[in-house]
Structure 1
Amino acid sequence: MAPAFPRLVLGLLVLSLCCEACKKVIFHVPSELEADMLVGRVDLKECLQSAEFISSSDGRFKVLEDGSVYTTSALSLSAEKKTFTILLKDIQEQVQKKIQVDLVKEEKKTPNKRHARDTVLKRTKRRWGPIPSVMIENSLGPFPLQIQQVQSDTAQNYTIYYSASGPGIDQDPKGLFYIERETGNIFATRAVDREQYPSFQIICFATTPDGYSPEVPLVHTIRIEDDNDNAPYFTQDHFEFCVPENSRPDLSGTKNRCIVFTGVFVGKVTAEDRDEPYTLHTTLKYRIVSQTPPITPAFSLHGDTGVISVLLPQLDRELVPSYTLLVEVRDMAGQPFGLCTTGTVVIKIEDTNDNAPSFKQLQYETRVEENRVNVEILRVSVVDLDEPGSPGSGAVYEIIRGNDDQAFEITTDKNTNEGILCVVKGLDYETAKQRILVIGVNNEAPYLLAPHSQQLSQSTSSVTVHVLDVDEGPVFKPCLLRLDVKECEDIGTAIGRYVAEDPENGNSEGIRYRIPPGQCNWINIDEKSGEVRTVRVLDRDIGEMRRGQCNVTVLAIDRNGKTGTGTIQVCIVPGNKNFPRITQTDYIMCRDRKPICLTAQDGDEAPYSAPFVYRITDRRLASMWKLTPHDDNSWYLSPKSDTPYGIYEIPVTVIDNGGKRGENIVRVNLCDCVTPTECDGRARQLSGGNVTLGLWAILAMILGSLLLLLILITICGCCGAGAMHRQVTDDCANHNLIISNTEAPGEEVMDQNIIPLQNTCDQGGYGVKTGEQQTFEMVKGRGHTLESVKGGGHQTLGSVKEGGGQTVMDTCRYSYSEWHNFTHPRLGEKVHLCRQDEEQKHSEDYLLSYNYEGKGSLAGSVGCCSDQHEEEALDFLDQLEPKFRTLAETCIKR
């Protein structure tokens, strides 16, 4: 069966070049044919839609791409019929077709005698513009060789001389052609190489002896017809390709009614030919001449494309690692008379992992002392037929059974491909005197089974490990002991016990303990009992203790001097050793009574630091001041509404999350100021001294104000409307009223909506807006009374009579205390009631919000609730600029 397969493949390759005959073409031609004469035109596309190569079986005829058939030389038809074939070929589709052309000789008719003269005198052909000339390259002569004749029709009437110029005549290569002056015959003087000069274009001239040119200069082309004088050659000296072993060939389908064989692509050889393209001279064919080693052919070579494919279904690298092919390329479509060249192709077979590794031995035996760690105990080796050093032969070992405690480990030596078995955990003779392991081996690359092969099985081997008994030293259990110590514990505090055992008998008798020098001096250990105590106060804030951890190596020594080691890890646990303290304790609070943000810090770590709790420990001050939370570290300190101005030293206790209390004194200067810089470290009061008003003082001030109000009401009732008007001096007006007309003195302002405040002469003016629009003020030109008036259930102090009442003289001397003690509680009550209103209907009348507009002026606030109470607060009006001074003068009573 084996020899029949190549014959089948060869037959398929022959079928791939099958040809079809198209419709025959017949041309009627004269018996004598001149060179470059048009014979006829063939419809090539009717036979083959896309023809890459067009050639003629008879070299005396040439076929152009449009199907035109020309003669290449003069010939005469001796027989009645001449037949040749046009070959059409499509390389990509691998299709070749042919068209048979029959030339039938025309019958020559004898002309009528009476028309003979006319026939002789009639000019039948114009020779001044002939078709391009053709000269065969490498022509053997004889030389000079006539290749064409040009003639002018005007030679019948004139004496015509012919001349020519251009390449090959008077340009390089000079002297190759010349033209006879009288006849117009063009001659070649020597042979021409088409590969060097494929064609020439010369210019022919026809002139009379006197220089007249009856003809336009003729551009004449001399084409050099190709001769198959160049053998094809390969583009490389030798070709090298690779193909994986066990690559499978493939036989599939038909194409253009021809069976096509395609296998696994290996590579492609390419050749070139210097002869004329698209002719038989450059139509190349490839074939394999021989194969080394000379066994069953393993590869096929496509004759037209040069593609090499796999032919043998089983390429085994382990049997034949490479093949050498001697290939041939021949022109003339591979015909025996064509020129040929041979080349070399080397095809290497790449390795695939089609061979499994196997152990050289199925059983191994070794021994190791107990407690030995990281020691090599055995080397195992395998056999693998795949290419050495490739992933297909690289061994990967594994322990399949017997290593549940992960005491063994096996790795691969990359240099020798051996398996190295090591002990990574100490073995105990008392526990097991021998261990049996089962090891397996695989390859780095996955398996690729060869055709018709069975599934590979993993190779395994058993290893018996004998454990040797050794006199061992004491062993700590556990080998690492963690002991936590609270921060700042007393020296000598017992924190634990660390003992070792003799592995032979499992007891701790006769074992002594000690700590080698050179370690952190935090603890010591009792030599006999193994009890561990502190030798220092452990504080995480001290230099080497900041890490909070130290590892101490402990030695255990038995009666025979054998030593075992263990490690104690001492960890300092953070404790609550620090008191929380307020970072800033001195503050100045102005009249806006903006809350103070108290912030505390604690040097401890969580959970002995934040969140903090703040408390005021003094009951009396706790009734005047309040604390509200802000965040975990900060609380707000703010005075209550009735807290008077003064300097307060408030004891504040801060409690951390661990319950540790820190006592702090917060000193607050509650000052009647706009900015803290006005206080200059002192409480700002009416008397200028540090005054703290108590509850009884405030009550006394309120009772005095009520008594004064009662007296004023009594005076108003007695005097009636005849009382004297209070005189407002120019000096007083200068302080408050500004002339608004700069062109002339304005009229006296009588509008009740523009009223100077009553007590602006000495104490400064205050306007208090209540829900009933009643104010404490002085109305110019009207009666004035100082009485208690009910306004919606609230007491207000003001002037209420429009007229008819007798005015009362006063001294314009209402003290700040009287004014403040009367208005402040009532204003607070109004504000309180506004806040109680669920719908906030009246809050807009009392609570007004203002955006920040920069630093305030010396005049302070001018709102309805201004709390300016110093006599000097309006001193700025004494230094008015010129424009404002003019405005003030208009309001002064002259």
Structure 2
Amino acid sequence: MVPAAPRLVLGLLVLSLCCEACKKVTFRVPSELEADTLVGRVDLKECLPSAEFISSTDGNFKILEDGSVYTTSTLSLSAERKNFTILLNDIQEHVQKKIHVSLVKEEKKTQAERTRHARDTVLKRTKRRWGPIPSVMIENSLGPFPLQIQQVQSDTAQNYTIYYSASGPGIDQDPKGLFYIERETGNIFATRAVDREQYPSFQIICFATTPDGYSPEVPLVHTIRIEDDNDNAPYFTQDLFEFSVPENSKPGIIVGKVTAEDKDEPYTLHTALKYRIVSQNPPIPPVFSLHGDTGVISVASPQLDREVESGYLLLIEARDMAGQPFGLCTTGTVTVRIEDTNDNAPSFRQTQYEVRVEENRVNVEILRIAVVDLDEPRSPASRAVFEIIRGNDDRSFEITTDRNTNEGVLCVVKGLDYETAKQRVLVIAVNNEAPYMLAPHSQQVSQSTSSVTVYVIDVDEGPVFKPCLLRIDVKECEDIGTSIGRYVAEDPETGNSEGICYRIAPGQCNWISIDEKSGEVRTIRVLDRDVAEMRQGQCNITVLAIDRNGKTGTGTIQVVIQPGNKNYPRILKTDYVMCRDRKPICLTAQDGDASPYSTPFVYRITDRNLASSWKITRHNDNSVYLSPKGDIPFGIYDIPVSVTDNGGKVGETHVKVNYCDCMTPTECSGNTRELREGSVTLGIWAILAMILGSLLLLLILITICGCCGTGVMHRHVTDDCANHNLIISNTEAPGEEVMDHNIIPLQTTTDQGGYGIKTGDQQTFESVKGRGHTLESVKGGGHQTLGSVKEGGGQTMMDTCRYSYSEWHNFTHPRLGEKVHLCRQDEEQKHSEDYLLSYHYEGKGSLAGSVGCCSDQHEEEALDFLDQLEPKFRTLAEACVKR
């Protein structure tokens, strides 16, 4: 009865309490208090009538709901006064109130008090008979009232004058006044009958006190149990139970479950229910059973046929006392709906029909077919599905279902031809959307069919093209007026083409024409696949056929233009430069035609003289290599080359090849020498350019000679040599001696008539140029010159310093290559840093590229000349490479 401390704390936390102190209470008690000793009683309702939680701030005391204060353990009062507080809490009203209690130790005792203390000493917490068994009161008892139901008695009545009292539900709480206790005897009486379903039991608190208010006993919690009386009949949980079950269900199939309840005491005979079927409508035959204990309804007979009975009404009963006749009972209603299954096959009302329809009519309804089905209307078991099972191979007919009338609607979807068939016989079958289910104890029925005879009515028709689409394949570029085919129509009635004229419908492409009487098709333009009107090389032309009666029929000619050989092959690039390495030239031709009139191409040189010195080598289907057969002079060659495609069409192209004394083709882009048929010829512009070049060269030489004075004459390079950059090489010691019969030592002289002599580190160049002579390198004390080779009597042949590009190239490149090779690597074969950094620009550009020691750009092109050295220079190069 005392609330737990945590519960009190929780109540204090959740409330915003308004604490008020009520009247202070003082009790005089002995200095020694036993456990469960009544200290006194406090009027709690005077302080807070709606207290929900009652607690004490001192754990040695407990507070009962009636305000009784008891000790919880043996307590000795050492001080004169002991204080604690009773806390009252109303959670809903957010109110907390306090009652301060003071315990004052007794100092002087009266005789009665000493006697009581002596008795208390004798009665030290011995077992007492202060707990009778729970009282039982019959529900709905008829009295007489007041009716004694129990007596409580304290063992302390042997030593004290004991007065009994009680509180709790039924006494001072609702239902108030139902029970009361006699003060002197402890007899408990009931004043009226009790409904167990409303009050199954009562718990009251009984008190035993002496006349002076002392309580020798702890308050007794006494239970009064109300014994159940079968005063409530069972009742069904639903006013109407509705179930459904498919027809033809097998016995034992569960239909549903009914439930009833009883308010009497559970697990007694008063609530032990039994179910049964009271009646069935229609009554014959009984088709359902009801389980008495569970209320489960199941099928009892296989004769559920929706077409006979679509539903049943059951009256059921629930009785308590395990179904005994004296038990209370109630009745309920159950409806069972029989669901339809497709156990009835549809059938035609008629087995034969006849109908007429005009030929060539399309999408027209010609017949409606009715069926009979006993299954539930508008359900999948009765909705008809029609099918034409015979006579509709060409798909000229179609049958559908009208959802509103469940009839089959027969239509013509393709025009019928009277000349082909004057009548058609159709066989139509019918089924349901739901699959057919055979009913028990019934025989399988065959599928219902009906035949429909369709008579075709003849009408006057226009001509008909056969076929309606004629494909004509035409080669591209056919001559105008070429006959490419014939397209005629027939009269369906006569089966011939007499009296029919042909025309091309307006708005067609104006490429072909058709003969008005014969239907012969001819070209009126050159057919071309590449024009805009063509779609993938074809176009469709509509043709009209008109008979004598003005009836018109249409057909389509599909003209497909096959690829033709209308383009001749031609070589794409015609200008080439060939250097002295005579690398073959790749010629590639192009043909606008498609296969098979394009590749492979056949190349041929049409000029016999040039064919003897030039040859063609096959590369692939559309390209070849052009190269000279042997040694030929430098110059420009105009070579006529014919190309024949796979269709035999020939195209001729003149290929101009500039065979030039060069290392790269860019060096000969301005060369004007031209050779035709093996002889050298100079054009007017070429001669004029040579004259102007010679005059310009002479002017430069005069200027240079004037600048040099009377000292040693220094040979300078002409414009042909100006494409190179001169490298200043400060040689401080002679190189290794090279002994070779092709190497002529340098002639050293000091007179002014000598050529090619220069002291110090300056480099000079001399050359003697003539037919049959070669340039040689002379190596002397730190000087390198272009030496001359003596003719005949050993005299030195002098030239006017007209060096060609090849002469300059042949002289400088071996030395530059050697220099680059030597300075390119150090002792560990690693690239070294450039130390030749002084470059002088003396022309419009250097074809040799960079000569820096560590320059890698164009390295391969700069060394290609080593593969074309003449014998003497090859020997010189090999000697110079030696270390």
Instruction: Give the TM-score range, shorter chain.
Output: 0.5 to 0.7
Displacement of 1:398 in angstroms is: 2.9
Change (3 A) 1:158 1:440: same
**Alignment pair present for 1:312 and 2:266:** no
Structure 2 residue aligned with 1:131: 133
Q: State whether residues 603 and 624 of structure 2, in contact with CA within 8 Å, keep that contact through their aligned partners in structure 1.
A: no
**Alignment pair present for 1:151 and 2:187:** no
- Of 767, 776, 783, which residue of structure 2 is paired with 1:811? 783
Change (3 A) 1:599 1:625: closer
Structure 1 residue aligned with 2:236: 234
Residues 3-14 of structure 1: pairs in structure 2 closer than 5 A: none
Change (3 A) 1:501 1:546: closer
Displacement of 1:499 in angstroms is: 0.5
Displacement of 1:299 in angstroms is: 0.9
Structure 1 residue aligned with 2:288: 299
Residues 153-302 of structure 1: pairs in structure 2 closer than 5 A: 153-209=155-211, 212-249=214-251, 263-302=252-291
Which secondary structure does the structure 2 equivalent of 1:545 belong to?
A: coil
Q: State whether residues 614 and 635 of structure 1, in contact with CA within 8 Å, keep that contact through their aligned partners in structure 2.
A: no
Displacement of 1:512 in angstroms is: 0.8
Residues 475-514 of structure 1: pairs in structure 2 closer than 5 A: 475-487=464-476, 489=478, 492-514=481-503
CA distance in 2, matches of 1:269, 1:614: 101
CA distance in 1, matches of 2:641, 2:216: 132
- Of 314, 326, 343, which residue of structure 2 is paired with 1:337? 326
CA distance in 2, matches of 1:282, 1:245: 36
CA distance in 2, matches of 1:130, 1:245: 66
Displacement of 1:500 in angstroms is: 0.7
Change (3 A) 1:869 1:433: closer
The aligned amino acid for 2:230 is N
Percentage of identical aligned residues: 75
Residues 191-590 of structure 1: pairs in structure 2 closer than 5 A: 191-209=193-211, 212-249=214-251, 263-487=252-476, 489=478, 492-535=481-524, 539=528, 541-546=530-535, 548-573=537-562
CA distance in 1, matches of 2:358, 2:467: 22
Q: State whether residues 683 and 689 of structure 1, in contact with CA within 8 Å, keep that contact through their aligned partners in structure 2.
A: no
What TM-score, normalized to structure 2? 0.56
CA distance in 2, matches of 1:199, 1:647: 135
Structure 2 residue aligned with 1:105: none
Displacement of 1:296 in angstroms is: 1.2
Change (3 A) 1:323 1:577: farther
CA distance in 2, matches of 1:648, 1:279: 131
CA distance in 1, matches of 2:626, 2:732: 40
Change (3 A) 1:366 1:653: same
Displacement of 1:859 in angstroms is: 6.1
Q: State whether residues 778 and 784 of structure 1, in contact with CA within 8 Å, keep that contact through their aligned partners in structure 2.
A: no
Structure with bigger gyration radius: 2
User: Structure 2: 5+ residue runs without aligned partners?
Assistant: 1-125, 679-723, 744-777, 787-807, 818-828, 830-849, 865-883
Displacement of 1:419 in angstroms is: 2.3
Displacement of 1:862 in angstroms is: 5.4
**Alignment pair present for 1:683 and 2:654:** no
Displacement of 1:451 in angstroms is: 1.4
Change (3 A) 1:128 1:418: same
Change (3 A) 1:496 1:234: farther
Change (3 A) 1:658 1:144: farther
Q: How many residues align?
A: 603
Q: Calculate the aligned-residue CA RMSD, in Å.
A: 5.6
What TM-score, normalized to structure 1? 0.55
CA distance in 2, matches of 1:266, 1:818: 120
Q: State whether residues 614 and 628 of structure 2, in contact with CA within 8 Å, keep that contact through their aligned partners in structure 1.
A: no
CA distance in 1, matches of 2:308, 2:224: 61
Q: State whether residues 199 and 221 of structure 1, in contact with CA within 8 Å, keep that contact through their aligned partners in structure 2.
A: yes
CA distance in 1, matches of 2:155, 2:353: 111
Q: State whether residues 684 and 690 of structure 1, in contact with CA within 8 Å, keep that contact through their aligned partners in structure 2.
A: no
CA distance in 1, matches of 2:268, 2:307: 46
Q: State whether residues 672 and 683 of structure 1, in contact with CA within 8 Å, keep that contact through their aligned partners in structure 2.
A: no
Displacement of 1:125 in angstroms is: 10
CA distance in 1, matches of 2:626, 2:329: 111
Which secondary structure does the structure 1 equivalent of 2:318 belong to?
A: strand
Which secondary structure does the structure 1 equivalent of 2:442 belong to?
A: coil
Q: State whether residues 734 and 781 of structure 2, in contact with CA within 8 Å, keep that contact through their aligned partners in structure 1.
A: no
The aligned amino acid for 1:683 is T
Q: State whether residues 159 and 208 of structure 1, in contact with CA within 8 Å, keep that contact through their aligned partners in structure 2.
A: yes
CA distance in 2, matches of 1:277, 1:808: 140
Change (3 A) 1:342 1:439: same
Which secondary structure does the structure 2 equivalent of 1:297 belong to?
A: coil
Which secondary structure does the structure 1 equivalent of 2:333 belong to?
A: strand
Change (3 A) 1:552 1:237: farther
Change (3 A) 1:315 1:595: farther
Which secondary structure does the structure 1 equivalent of 2:157 belong to?
A: helix
The aligned amino acid for 2:783 is T
Q: State whether residues 529 and 538 of structure 2, in contact with CA within 8 Å, keep that contact through their aligned partners in structure 1.
A: no
CA distance in 1, matches of 2:622, 2:247: 78
Higher RCO (Cα < 8 Å, 6 or more apart): 1
- The C-alpha deviation readout for 1:102-127, integer Å capped at 9, x for no partner, is xxxxxxxxxxxxxxxxxxxxxx9964
Q: State whether residues 247 and 264 of structure 1, in contact with CA within 8 Å, keep that contact through their aligned partners in structure 2.
A: yes
Q: State whether residues 359 and 457 of structure 2, in contact with CA within 8 Å, keep that contact through their aligned partners in structure 1.
A: yes
Which secondary structure does the structure 2 equivalent of 1:393 belong to?
A: coil
Q: State whether residues 670 and 683 of structure 1, in contact with CA within 8 Å, keep that contact through their aligned partners in structure 2.
A: no
- The C-alpha deviation readout for 1:512-547, integer Å capped at 9, x for no partner, is 112332445554322111122345555555444346
CA distance in 1, matches of 2:587, 2:210: 127
